[in-house]
Structure 1
Amino acid sequence: MKGSEVEMAVRTIKVIMNGVTGRMGYRQHLVRSILPIRDEGGVVVGDDRIQVVPVLVGRNADKLAKLAEQHGVGEWTTDLAAALADPEATVYFDAQVTSERTGAILAALDKGLHIFTEKPIAESVADGQKLVTAAEKAGVITGVVHDKLYLPGLVKLKRLIDLGFFGRILSVRGEFGYWVFEGDVVPAQRPSWNYRAEDGGGMVLDMFCHWNYVLENLFGRVDAVWAKAVTHIPERWDEQGRSYPATADDAAYGIFELEGGVIAQINSSWAVRVDRGELVEFQVDGTHGSAVAGLFDCRIQPRAQTPKPVWNPDLPTDQDFRSQWDSVPDLEDYPNGFRAQWEQFLRDVDAGRPHGYDLAAGVRGLQLVEAGLRSSDEGRRVELKELA
């Protein structure tokens, strides 16, 4: 040891990672979160570090072996029960298809493991509540991925809210989606199970869980919803080039009533061509100003700089409206959102304290899913207290 250098104590957390051969589990959670944390020596906590040791779990032994060799991971298995029985493992992570999630998490909770999981956490509110009850009985720490809250654009938007930039917030308008190819001529860029309801697919089930945590953490909890779920593309082709009927909704159009009177409208579609700056954007309008936030950028127009357009359908407009907005500066470094939440969760596990976005938050997302689907099926406004 030289000079003021202090040797850091290292504590290790062994993480069982189930579903890492899938797109999200591999790219965001393994490659962009856990492996960088491991390779950089762990998560810094005061004068100490929390190092992670991943164990890869999945159904395809060949894929797992290749991933383990490629990334220098020492342990992998197709036997989830054996992995859960490892006394050194303390965290279970799930990025499987939704239909497989509930049983696997219950098995992990039965072994007393802490839980970090993708969403939706289950296929129904009832199953989600089973997970919450089991976690409370086990006395473990749970976390549900809330990645969008860690995105630079939404971090900047939250800062504007906290600074009172908007005055009284009136409304939120969200646009999300892109064209997912059918798979016949151009291969689809999303897994085929996403478009089969029997496999846990569907836009409402997938994205309303996201919109719930974005809305409740930035603007207020959802009280009621009007929604319409649609399957615009009825036939698609899977990874083997075989046609199949799309039984899940690929678009959803929702109006959400929030506590405090804010109205949010969010269109979500995998059958839309993009004419916006980013794949998702939220416009927030308030009495004192407005903002448009995407994944990375956030632009504002305060009240004092708001133009005064006049409606005249007989003449082309002479205003460049998009040039009348100013960008919010980057005031900090923004890490990958998934990694940022992983680090926060690992610190919470290490400290033995609850994680801010737990399984109960995941259940609230499922409540919005069920309310949205009921609204679409019954053609009416649905209050979330109907599902309580």
Structure 2
Amino acid sequence: MNGVTGRMGYRQHLVRSVLALRDAGGIVLEDGTRVGVEPVLVGRDPVKLADLAAQHRVERWTTDVDEVLADPDVDVYFDAQVTSRRPAALRAAMAAGKHVYTEKPTAETLDEAVALAREAARAGVTVGVVHDKLYLPGLVKLRRLVDEGFFGRILSLKGDFGYWVFEGESQPGQRPSWNYRAEDGGGITVDMFCHWNYVLEGLLGRVGAVTAKVATHVPVRWDERGREYTATADDAAYGIFEMPDGVIAQINSSWTTRVHRDELVEFQIDGTHGSAVAGLHRCVAQQRAHTPKAVWNPDLPSADRYRDQWLEVPANAELDNGFKAQWEEFLRDIAAGRPHRYDLLSAARGVQLAELGLRSSAEGRRLDVPEIAL
């Protein structure tokens, strides 16, 4: 596991996924057998790695990734490094015959992301890319409504993501400073459009066209050492995505907004027969027959409590941490010798959408999203 000293690599992938699986005795396969999981921590800071290993009873850690890739007892390489270091690391792992599971974006450019997908197709290993949001309880419920035809003819999707990230002057920022420097691979479009691509694919289908506007609303920030710097990357992105059958999706992404919603991300699907709103965990719905007749009257305060008019969508199953759920699926795919459904080609489409979003904003126009051929 390379990059576990970072926030996501540590919290979601190491602690809440792999260590949770290890402590539960591994995963149970389709035939009832159990496979154990044991991480090897890899990174550049030996002090941090040693501390993590001691804290979580991990036997092995190293700063030498080549040593681990040469070890025949290591089956899987996981990458949560910064994007600029990822392509070379994934290539080395696939060349060493390791199965690969990785965070995204998989590369800084579409050409490199597609090249990685082609190499994976030749490598003969199981490759997976983190698509965590599709495993979140809220989106699992939303997808179930889609599959069951609850919406009738789907008309639109709207998404709202973000929160206020402090500039770092009076209060430390919640995100690393490189996120706000384009020269270091930062920017909310590069970060989030990769997510929105697979969310839209998972709910509605392939994105056919994009119109976007990005902005750097906060031009000056302070880094982890309290030094002032110029923010060169976008901290907000406003996108319109054209989907199959005329469905229109619009998603706002911002690190410069204050939250007035139930969760940090919410998606609403509207259809002829019903609507639903999903966050990370909850999902509420309103059927056509239960839809109140709203009347516009700006002269009087509204007596309607609109949120109370929606019904909770039950889980009807135990829905685990989304990162852990995908780890389990990926490891089962390895054991079964089959491809993982969220692969490097899917990741390349996310990189493509981010590139087109930035280009759409720069050129001020709508852009088609072409098919990617391997």
Give the TM-score taking structure 1 as reference length. 0.94
Instruction: Answer yes or no: is 1:78 the counterpart of 2:66.
Output: no
The residue number in structure 1 matching 2:204 is 219
The residue number in structure 2 matching 1:42 is 26
The residue number in structure 1 matching 2:37 is 52
Instruction: Answer yes or no: is 1:371 the counterpart of 2:356.
Output: yes
Distance, in Å, in 2 between the alignment partners of 1:362 and 1:382 is: 19
| CA displacement at 1:241 relative to structure 2 | 1.0
Distance, in Å, in 1 between the alignment partners of 2:221 and 2:182 is: 13
Q: Is the 8 A contact 1:220 1:260 kept in 2?
A: no
Instruction: Answer yes or no: is 1:256 the counterpart of 2:244.
Output: no
Q: Is the 8 A contact 1:50 1:346 kept in 2?
A: no
Instruction: Answer yes or no: is 1:291 the counterpart of 2:267.
Output: no
TM-superposition CA deviations, 1:305-331 (whole Å, max 9, x none):
111111121221121111111111221
The residue number in structure 2 matching 1:149 is 134
Q: Is the 8 A contact 2:94 2:120 kept in 1?
A: yes
The residue number in structure 1 matching 2:17 is 33
The one of 285, 293, 296 equivalent to 1:300 is 285
RMSD across aligned positions (CA): 1.1
Secondary structure of 2:100 counterpart? strand
Q: Is the 8 A contact 1:224 1:383 kept in 2?
A: yes
Distance, in Å, in 2 between the alignment partners of 1:30 and 1:363 is: 25
| CA displacement at 1:84 relative to structure 2 | 1.2
Secondary structure of 1:228 counterpart? strand
| Structure 1 segment 116-135 matched on structure 2, within 5 A | 116-135=101-120
The residue number in structure 2 matching 1:18 is 2
Structure 1: segments with no counterpart, 5+ residues: 1-16
TM-superposition CA deviations, 1:62-114 (whole Å, max 9, x none):
00000011111111111111121112112110001111111111111111111
The residue number in structure 1 matching 2:367 is 382
Instruction: Answer yes or no: is 1:174 the counterpart of 2:173.
Output: no
Distance, in Å, in 1 between the alignment partners of 2:91 and 2:315 is: 41
Q: Is the 8 A contact 2:349 2:372 kept in 1?
A: no
TM-superposition CA deviations, 1:2-47 (whole Å, max 9, x none):
xxxxxxxxxxxxxxx0000000000000000000101111001132
- Size of the alignment, in residue pairs? 372
Larger strand proportion, structure 1 or 2? 1
Structure 1 runs (4+) deviating above 6 angstroms are: none
Distance, in Å, in 2 between the alignment partners of 1:205 and 1:130 is: 18
| CA displacement at 1:164 relative to structure 2 | 0.7
| CA displacement at 1:135 relative to structure 2 | 1.2
The residue number in structure 2 matching 1:330 is 315
The residue number in structure 2 matching 1:110 is 95
Distance, in Å, in 2 between the alignment partners of 1:133 and 1:220 is: 23
Secondary structure of 1:103 counterpart? helix
Percentage of identical aligned residues: 67
Give the TM-score taking structure 2 as reference length. 0.98
Q: Is the 8 A contact 1:146 1:213 kept in 2?
A: yes
Structure 2: segments with no counterpart, 5+ residues: none
| CA displacement at 1:295 relative to structure 2 | 0.5
The residue number in structure 1 matching 2:125 is 140
Distance, in Å, in 1 between the alignment partners of 2:10 and 2:209 is: 35
The one of 181, 184, 190 equivalent to 1:205 is 190
Distance, in Å, in 2 between the alignment partners of 1:133 and 1:322 is: 47
Distance, in Å, in 2 between the alignment partners of 1:57 and 1:284 is: 41
